[in-house]
């Protein structure tokens, strides 16, 4: 991945932040209104993604928004899992209006805890978790999508300010040497996976949690 390619993707970040897709609705419980019609994470997160993936990268995210537009514009082979078809329709309309080829974008409509286990477990280079924010949704997304990350693949978790997102999961990632922290802010963080295969394992496979010492 060259510096010029990354600069090109950073330019796309600027372009989309200046003209974001209007895809989201106001939150019915708290009455929070998405600024510019889209819930988003920090610019620094999009810039991080721009440095991590490009054309042909195998990417998956839970949730849809600016990030989905970016993955598509960058030419990633991208899967987006989102419960509401109208969000997907709005995003495809946004891309069409800007003559962006949405061919590499696959949207799976449904709740991630139902959709992810049913997907073919093809390898992934990068996973962005930013879908359901109630506990244990982020953890389930990590389990099903993170389990498809290749060795060296990157996990990005948004909304660290919500205990319902971080509970259990960030503590585990911090302890497990097979997840190497790449970046952390108060809003989002990223880890590189140093293992491969399913994340289903026995407690004896997790010595960093164990109260016992292994036999000599
Ligand atoms: C904060 S927005 C995502 C923002 C996006 N990552 C960005 O950077 O612009 C959260 C998204 O998660 C979706 N969502 C909510 N519950 C979900 C669930 N259970 N599974 C998957 N997506 C979900 C919402 O419909 C919304 O598209």
pLDDT 10s digits, 161-208: 999 999 999 999 999 999 999 999 999 999 999 999 999 999 999 999
213 found inside a domain: no
206 found inside a domain: no
**pLDDT exceeds 80 at position 72:** yes
Number of structural domains the chain divides into: 1
Residue 169 structural domain: 3-196
| Pocket lining: 87 vs ligand 1, CB cutoff 6 Å | yes
Confidence at 39, pLDDT banded by 50, 70, 90: confident
Burial of 192 (0-12, 13-18, 19+ CB in 10 A): middle
**Beta carbons of 172 and 136 less than 8 angstroms apart:** no
User: Whole-angstrom Cα distance, residue 60 to residue 65?
Assistant: 13
124-133: pLDDT as tens digits: 999 999 999 9
Spacing, Cα 63 to ligand 1 middle (Å)? 3
Q: Confirm whether pTM is higher than 0.95.
A: yes
Please tell me the predicted confidence (pLDDT) of residue 214: 77
Spacing, Cα 62 to ligand 1 middle (Å)? 6
What is the CATH classification number for the domain harbouring 26? 3.40.50.150
- To which H or E segment does residue 119 belong? none
| Pocket lining: 20 vs ligand 1, CB cutoff 6 Å | no
User: Whole-angstrom Cα distance, residue 214 to residue 216?
Assistant: 6
Q: Which of 12-26, 104-118, 124-138, 182-196 has the weakest average pLDDT?
A: 12-26
**Beta carbons of 112 and 131 less than 8 angstroms apart:** yes
209 found inside a domain: no
| Pocket lining: 154 vs ligand 1, CB cutoff 6 Å | no
Helix or strand or coil: residue 28? Answer: coil
């Amino acid at each position: 991945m060259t510096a010029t390619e990354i600069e090109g993707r950073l330019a796309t970040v600027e372009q989309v932040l200046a003209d974001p897709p209007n895809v989201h609705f106001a939150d019915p419980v708290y009455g929070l209104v998405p600024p510019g019609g889209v819930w988003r994470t920090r610019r620094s997160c999009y810039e991080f993604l721009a440095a991590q993936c490009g054309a042909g990268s195998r990417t998956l995210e839970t949730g849809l928004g600016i990030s989905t537009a970016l993955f598509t514009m960058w030419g990633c082979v991208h899967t987006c899992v989102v419960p509401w078809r109208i969000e997907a329709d709005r995003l495809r309309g946004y891309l069409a209006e800007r003559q962006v080829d949405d061919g590499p974008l696959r949207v799976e409509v449904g709740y991630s805890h139902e959709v992810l286990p049913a997907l073919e477990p093809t390898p992934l280079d990068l996973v962005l978790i930013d879908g359901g924010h109630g506990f244990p949704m982020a953890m389930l997304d990590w389990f099903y999508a993170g389990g498809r990350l290749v060795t060296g693949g990157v996990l990005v978790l948004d909304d660290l300010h919500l205990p319902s997102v971080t509970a259990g999961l960030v503590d585990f990632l911090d302890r497990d040497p097979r997840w190497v922290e790449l970046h952390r802010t108060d809003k989002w963080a990223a880890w590189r996976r140093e293992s491969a295969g399913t994340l289903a394992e026995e407690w004896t496979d997790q010595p960093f949690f164990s109260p016992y010492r292994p036999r000599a």
